[in-house]
Structure 1
Amino acid sequence: MSLSLSTNMSILFTDHVHEFRRLRAEFWNTPGVHEELKAYEACDNDHEYKILKGLVPKPLVGRVTNDFGPAWQKSDTFFTDFPTHNVPQRVLSSTEHSHIICNVACHDTRLYSSDVDPSSSDKTAAAGMSYMHLLVIPSSKVYNAVSHLNPDLITEMKTHFWDFWVRDDSINKINRAIHDAMERRYAEVADAYQRNDNSTAPRRLAHLDAVMEECRISAVNFANTLRATRNSVDVVYGFHSHPHHSVGHLHMHVLLADPLFRTNSTLAHDRKTLSFEAVEHVLGAEEAESKSYGIRHC
């Protein structure tokens, strides 16, 4: 299953529908999944989670990260109660039902390459999928598209994004969030150099600074291009379905499909990205079928 963000996603609509249905069937046929999902939704911190993926890592349970918000609980994910665990600037827009946030990862793979990453390993797959890589997340606790039953929520998430997109301040907010993610990555790498080996830190920092200068220049160009082309850029929406997701909280990826905006971004996750249209179609069809049998989904 492959998704080319540079190609109209509707071309792959049928394939995505089949794949999403297959993943949903696999999920719901997993022994014990109903009980585990109920525990997750009830914030049961005593349950031993063996099926659901993308919860807060065990070493972080009971700790406060980012020097902000309450300590993480066992049933939490990094998107659980997002505004309470993050500084206000991380939330670009909110409604009663959803939040728009920027991907925490920097968009530029050059800051994750083996010559820059503190581990000297290729971590480019950890970068964002395009210059603009936003996420729309529900404010309620919803695990994943494969576990979700009501299409109204994802429709609201998409509507929320468009309402935000047409606001006068949206592009400046987006560009600022992207800039902040890039600068956080720089600081993270520089700090790691100092902690890991002071003898090699000066040499590695000099190289990092040179790479970062190139990243900043290209980011400014992307930002200016986005401002100039907002009304004509191709925005796509997609989901990473269980078990191919990273965070165990429903989130819709919002990306710029134009290859220009993906020049320095990762393509590693295109394969697992299922289109919004396919997910909406499957959920809507299942809801219609349930209603015809008098079954109501919450």
Structure 2
Amino acid sequence: MSIRFTDHLEEFGRLRTEFWSTPGIIEELKAYEARNDDHEYKILKGLIPKPLVGRVTNDVGPAWQTSDTFFTDFPEHNYPNRVLSSTEHSHIICNVACHDTRLYSSDIDPSSLDKTAAAGMSYMHLLLITEMKAHFLDFWNRDDSVNKVNRAIHDAMERRYTEVARAYQRSNSSTAPQRLALLDAVMEECRISAVNFANTLRTNTSATDVVFGFHSHPHHSVGHLHMHVLLADPQFRTYSTLAHDWKTLSFEAVEHVLGEEEAEPTIPGGWPA
């Protein structure tokens, strides 16, 4: 086994032990499974922020509930082109944070704060919810997969640009015109790069390696089982943050640990009924 794989095994095992040893975790998981919106969630991370409960975002779907995550009933809460493929058990979605304009320059944010790390990890950053790897490989081998990915990335970039530009235009700040000019300059460069990345991806799909990974509790941002899929070639991370690499565990390590747990459960008191 490689050093990296061994490190991931140990780290994921440690995180799992800490998680299942947390007082009250079984009760909280049962409340989450039952979608109990009256429960006060204190342990699980990545649920809908309290200010958004009862609200509709993206102008799509029903209002968010306390027990929801941003991936709950995903197709109902999002624009159709964000779902690239679906099976009975999982969705392949485009991670719009990867194409957030905040990624490209710390100056580009209506709040004037550097939120670079809030953005994504690769030109192509897909998220799989549930059944995962087999679904992705099936999707990736389809004739239309790359075009769907590139189209979703383009739409995410342009939608975020429009949101930020409108925020600047509504702002009374004296720096708004300067910031809008900077946004336009950065986006011009990013659009050129996106076209180049898209063409590279389109012509080399069969030889393109992908990386599968997970962010384990408490280092995840969305409290819903999902797998990250990134392009392995460093060129696709030219405009991407590396801030999340340290917490990304390999698919193989996670699969190995969960396989051992299934064979010989180590959960205190046994698996939840």
For normalisation by structure 1, the TM-score amounts to 0.86
Measure the CA separation in 1 of the matches of 2:258 and 2:215. Answer: 15
Query: Can you give the 5+ residue segments of structure 1 that lack an aligned partner in the other structure?
Result: 1-8, 139-155
SS of the aligned residue for 1:223 comes to helix
User: 2:103, 2:239 within 8 Å by CA — same for their partners in 1?
Assistant: no
**Equivalent residue number for residue 141 of structure 1:** none
Deviation of the 1:11 alpha carbon:
4.8
Identity %: 82
After superposition, the C-alpha distances for 1:29-55 in whole angstroms (9 at most, x for unaligned) are 000000001000100000000000111
**Equivalent residue number for residue 93 of structure 1:** 85
The letter for the 1-side match of 2:188 is E
**Equivalent residue number for residue 139 of structure 2:** 164
Deviation of the 1:108 alpha carbon:
6.7
2:261 to 266, 283, 286: 286
Deviation of the 1:13 alpha carbon:
0.7
2:169 to 187, 194, 203: 194
Query: Can you give the 5+ residue segments of structure 2 that lack an aligned partner in the other structure?
Result: none
The letter for the 2-side match of 1:180 is D
The letter for the 2-side match of 1:178 is I
Measure the CA separation in 2 of the matches of 1:194 and 1:232. Answer: 44
**Equivalent residue number for residue 175 of structure 1:** 150
Q: 1:110 to 1:263 in 2, by over 3 A?
A: farther
The letter for the 2-side match of 1:61 is V
1:133 to 122, 125, 138: 125
Measure the CA separation in 2 of the matches of 1:199 and 1:129. Answer: 33
Q: 1 or 2 for the larger relative contact order (CA 8 Å, sep ≥6)? A: 1
User: 1:109, 1:266 within 8 Å by CA — same for their partners in 2?
Assistant: no
Quick check: 1:269 aligned with 2:210?
Answer: no
**Equivalent residue number for residue 184 of structure 2:** 209
User: 1:83, 1:91 within 8 Å by CA — same for their partners in 2?
Assistant: yes
Q: Counterparts of 1:202-281 in structure 2 under 5 Å?
A: 202-281=177-256
User: 1:108, 1:215 within 8 Å by CA — same for their partners in 2?
Assistant: no
Q: 1:165 to 1:72 in 2, by over 3 A?
A: same
Q: 1:87 to 1:71 in 2, by over 3 A?
A: same
Deviation of the 1:23 alpha carbon:
0.3
Measure the CA separation in 2 of the matches of 1:260 and 1:114. Answer: 21
1:113 to 85, 105, 116: 105
SS of the aligned residue for 1:106 comes to helix
Q: 1:189 to 1:93 in 2, by over 3 A?
A: same
Measure the CA separation in 2 of the matches of 1:49 and 1:196. Answer: 36
For normalisation by structure 2, the TM-score amounts to 0.93
Deviation of the 1:110 alpha carbon:
6.3
Quick check: 1:22 aligned with 2:14?
Answer: yes
**Equivalent residue number for residue 52 of structure 2:** 60
SS of the aligned residue for 1:187 comes to helix
Measure the CA separation in 1 of the matches of 2:44 and 2:272. Answer: 21
User: 2:47, 2:69 within 8 Å by CA — same for their partners in 1?
Assistant: yes
Measure the CA separation in 2 of the matches of 1:273 and 1:296. Answer: 25
Deviation of the 1:258 alpha carbon:
1.1
Quick check: 1:70 aligned with 2:65?
Answer: no
Measure the CA separation in 2 of the matches of 1:261 and 1:27. Answer: 34
SS of the aligned residue for 2:206 comes to coil
